[in-house]
Amino acid sequence: MSDLFVSVLFASYNGASRRLRHMLDSLVRQELPHDRWELIAVDNNSNDGTFDLLKSYSETLPITILQQRKPGKSGALNLGLDRVKGDLVVFTDDDIRAEPNWLKAIVDCAIAHPAYGVFGGRIVPDWEKEPKGRFIDWIPMGSTFAIVDETQSGPCDPTKVWGPNTIIRRDLLGTSVRYREDIGPLPGKMFAMGEDAEIIIRLAANGAKSYRCAEAVVHHWIPASSVTEDWVQKRGERLGYGMPALFPDEVPEGMRLSGVPLQTWVESAQWACRAATLYLLPQSKKRFWAIWKYYYMRGYRAGIRRYAPQTLAR
């Protein structure tokens, strides 16, 4: 157990144009010796020099570079999963900055808690521009920016493990547990969020227990363009779109209209009326949430048609 080997896995689409170099530099500075871990980087159909940037780190990182031409983060990660060798698989993103003790803290946590198969580290915001205004206190930070800023380690609910600091023991994944490729980021398209949460929920249903490892910290880059009311509210549509894929049993029962339960239409109309009523009023928490919920319900209706058309009256 003391010789746990770690596989760090991520996929990048045009990361060279954004924060990929910063992410790789933070991995160069890891305290865990290079013979204790590997980096599996999947270039997901980039056209900006991402592959060449990854290759430039071949001498400074224990890196294996794969190419996945089919767009889609989930499929790219599945390609990488077929190549990992580690006892622990660490899933991350190309826009994080890891603390130097990140991987060492993960290994220490996994050794100390052998009964747990899933671990979630701490994810703190790395703001391009420090946000101002009251609305930042209203934002659902987890679903919007993949932030998990919990400072206490201990057992946790599996639905609280997500994002670019997720760790799974490889024996739980085997050769068959993989990401659903019908959800997860796609370039330039509406996509269902939650591919990271969905795989953890499946593992939990099979008995895997989750643990919060607050000592393992990454900083998640948040560009200034994402810190506006309009952007955050519209982000709710993607969240809603993915919910029927993650929780099909929670889709309301009963009669449907145009493929959507009547109860969902009623709730959608209520939020649409509230959003319209409050739209022209000054900024407020009530206004923010009404508009956010309007977009969420719009995504939820589309998600039901896409992912839960079979969930009819039960």
Q: Is the pLDDT of residue 68 over 70?
A: yes
Q: What angle do CA 189, 195, 199 make, to 5 degrees?
A: 160
> Strand, helix or coil at 246?
helix
Give 242-254 as a DSSP string. Answer: HHHHH-GGGS--S
What's the whole-number mean pLDDT along residues 21-41?
A: 98
The mean pLDDT of 259-274, rounded to a whole number, is 98
3-state secondary structure of 192: coil
By C-alpha distance, which of 160, 203, 145 is closest to 179? Answer: 203
Cα–chain-centroid distance for residue 232? 16
Q: Are 78 and 176 in contact (CB under 8 A)?
A: no
Average pLDDT over residues 221-225: 94
Rounded distance, CA 60 to CA 102, Å?
17
What mean pLDDT value characterizes the chain? 94
For domain 6-224, give the CATH number: 3.90.550.10
| Residue 148 DSSP class | B
In this structure, is the dihedral angle defined by the CA atoms of residues 201, 26, 220 and 239, taken in order, positive or negative?
A: negative
Buried b (16+ CB within 10 A) or exposed e, 92-127: bbbbbbbbebbbbbbbbbbeebeebbbbbbbbbbbb
Instruction: Please give the helix or strand (H or E) that residue 63 lies within, else none.
Output: strand 63-67
* 209-222: b (≥16 Cβ within 10 Å) or e: ebbbbbbbbbbbbb
Is 29 a residue whose pLDDT tops 60? yes
Query: What is the reported pLDDT for 3?
Result: 84
Task: Note the Cα 294 to chain centre separation in Å.
Answer: 23
Q: Does the structure show a pLDDT above 50 at 312?
A: no
| Domain ranges (residues) in the chain | 6-224, 229-307
Tens of pLDDT, residue by residue over 79-134, are 999 999 999 999 999 999 999 999 999 999 999 999 999 999 999 999 999 888 78
Cβ proximity of 57 and 24 under 8 Å = yes
What are φ and ψ of residue 126, in 5° steps?
A: -120, 85
Predicted local distance difference test score (pLDDT) of residue 92: 98
- What is the pTM (predicted TM-score) of this model? 0.94
- The answer to whether residue 310 scores a pLDDT higher than 90 is no
How much of the chain exceeds pLDDT 70, in percent? 98
Q: Which helix (H) or strand (E) holds 170?
A: helix 170-173
Angle value at C-alpha 13, between 8 and 19, nearest 5 degrees? 70
For residue 260 the two structure tokens come to 């959507």
Please state whether beta strands 210-222 and 96-98 pair in parallel, antiparallel, or not at all (unpaired). antiparallel
- Could you tell me which residues come within 8 angstroms of residue 137 by beta carbon, excluding any fewer than 6 positions away? none
Query: What pLDDT digit, counting tens, does each position of 163-199 carry?
Result: 999 999 999 999 999 999 999 998 877 899 999 999 9
Q: Tell me the three state secondary structure of residue 162.
A: coil
pLDDT recorded at residue 311: 53
DSSP, collapsed to helix, strand or coil, labels residue 164 as coil
Q: Output the pLDDT for position 18.
A: 87
| pLDDT attached to residue 54 | 98
Q: Is 197 helix (H, G, I), strand (E, B) or coil?
A: helix
Does pLDDT of 236 surpass 80? yes
